[in-house]
Amino acid sequence: MRSFFSKYKFFGITLLALSVVIIYLFYNALQPKKMLPVFQPSMVSQELVDSTLHYKRKYHTISDFELINQNGKKITQQDYEDKIYVADFFFTTCPTICPIMTKNMAEIQSSILDDQDVLLLSHSVTPVIDSVPQLKKYALEKGVIDSKWNLVTGDKKQIYQLARKSYLAVKNDGDGGPYDMIHTENFILVDKERRIRGFYDGTNKEEIQKLLTDLEILKNSYTE
């Protein structure tokens, strides 16, 4: 009798293990896939959005652009074609939130260093001050890697329109001129179709971790 049970003991353990694996696979298959929202202007605080877009509810994408980076190279949407990227707005002489944002963006840079699908893009909101040499100096000080991260300057009107009409990320100053703007702490996650998939507080470590988690979700959506 003992030999009978011993003979089938291994079979029973194997069957139990196989059952656990099958149940686990079925459980995972039945779980809803994690998906990120596609942000539209109507979903964002109106103070960050141009008035012409306040009630736009679909088909919002980042507009074409032509700016100059820290190396004097022309940067356009084609440099980000078929890429996921994280964008923000800053200025090199900012004494308050910008140093924290730049430090956290540098941490994101470290996380995506070997990832060919992800890039970074930082826009100056004071392009007259942030010349190419000024951006280059800042880039060297902050550890910017040219192949992963562009700091861009250019026509102030274009940057203003990108900020307000595309990235939905800065407030209208309203005091110093028609294109003056107050940048926020937001990091913006943009997908390969140039759609906004998330906003994150670039000064908050927990938000940075959430961004990195969401980045993985977004990357996985292109492989499923």
* CATH classification of the domain holding 80: 3.40.30.10
- Tens of each residue's pLDDT in the chain, 224 residues: 555 445 555 555 555 555 554 554 444 444 456 899 999 999 999 999 998 999 999 999 999 999 999 999 999 999 999 999 999 999 999 999 999 999 999 999 999 999 999 999 999 999 999 999 999 999 999 999 999 999 999 999 999 999 999 999 998 865 666 678 888 999 999 999 999 999 999 999 999 999 999 999 999 999 87
In this structure, the answer to whether residues 116 and 212 fall within a common structural domain is yes
In this structure, the answer to whether residues 25 and 47 fall within a common structural domain is no
Cβ-contact 101, 88 below 8 angstroms: yes
In this structure, the answer to whether residues 71 and 6 fall within a common structural domain is no
Annotated ligand binding at 60? The verdict is no
In a domain? residue 19: yes
Q: Which helix (H) or strand (E) holds 52?
A: none
**Token pair recorded at residue 25:** 């696979």
In this structure, the answer to whether residues 132 and 78 fall within a common structural domain is yes
In a domain? residue 36: no
Number of domains forming the structure of the chain: 2
Give the structural domain span for 184.
Answer: 41-221
Paired strand residues for 153: 68
Rounded Cα–Cα distance for residues 185 and 43 (Å) = 18
- Tokens 């679909």: give the residue: 58
In a domain? residue 154: yes
In this structure, the answer to whether residues 67 and 15 fall within a common structural domain is no
Angle between helices 98-111 and 132-142 (to 10 degrees): 60
In this structure, the answer to whether residues 2 and 81 fall within a common structural domain is no
Annotated ligand binding at 183? The verdict is yes
In this structure, the answer to whether residues 20 and 97 fall within a common structural domain is no
